[in-house]
Amino acid sequence: MSVDSVIQETFEVEVPTPDLAKGEREYQAFLHLLPTLLPKYKDTFVAIHDGQVIDSDSDDIALIRRVHSRIGYVPIHVGLVTEQVSLVHVPHYRVYRPRSVKE
């Protein structure tokens, strides 16, 4: 008994990368800009909108309020300009399952 091999032509598939959400794009812009922000904004919060710094302040809440009052309630990124990027802890969620009632 002989084994016949089948050779199939290969082809390339290009899968489009999904667009990032605006908030994620602003965060990525912050990370990209961070080295150039250090000399001017070190230890200060900056607000990133459309990929650029639009305001800064030592108080992050005051900065957010001021920016949102000026440009509206749109996604922005507010980050502290430091040499060490802080990690963000997002707690996991819990699924609520009501206990069964014994009759």
pLDDT band (50, 70, 90) for residue 63: very high
CA distance 50 to 33: 12
Name the percent of the chain in helix, strand, coil, to the closest 5. 30, 15, 55
Q: Cβ of 35: how many Cβ atoms within 10 Å?
A: 9
Please tell me whether the overall predicted TM-score, pTM, comes out greater than 0.75 for this model: no
- Please, is 78 exposed, middle or buried when counting C-beta atoms within 10 Å of its C-beta (0-12, 13-18, 19+)? buried
Q: Looking at the domain assignment, is residue 99 inside a domain?
A: no
Q: Looking at the domain assignment, is residue 85 inside a domain?
A: no
* Percent of all residues in the chain with a pLDDT value above 90, rounded to a whole number: 56
For the segment 94-98, the average pLDDT, to the nearest whole number, is 68
pLDDT in tens, 23-40: 899 999 999 999 999 999
For the segment 43-62, the average pLDDT, to the nearest whole number, is 96
Range of the domain at 69: 22-80
Q: Looking at the domain assignment, is residue 102 inside a domain?
A: no
CA distance 85 to 79: 9
For the segment 64-90, the average pLDDT, to the nearest whole number, is 87
How confident is the prediction for the chain on average, in pLDDT? 86
pLDDT of residue 85 exceeding 70: no
Number of domain units in the chain: 1
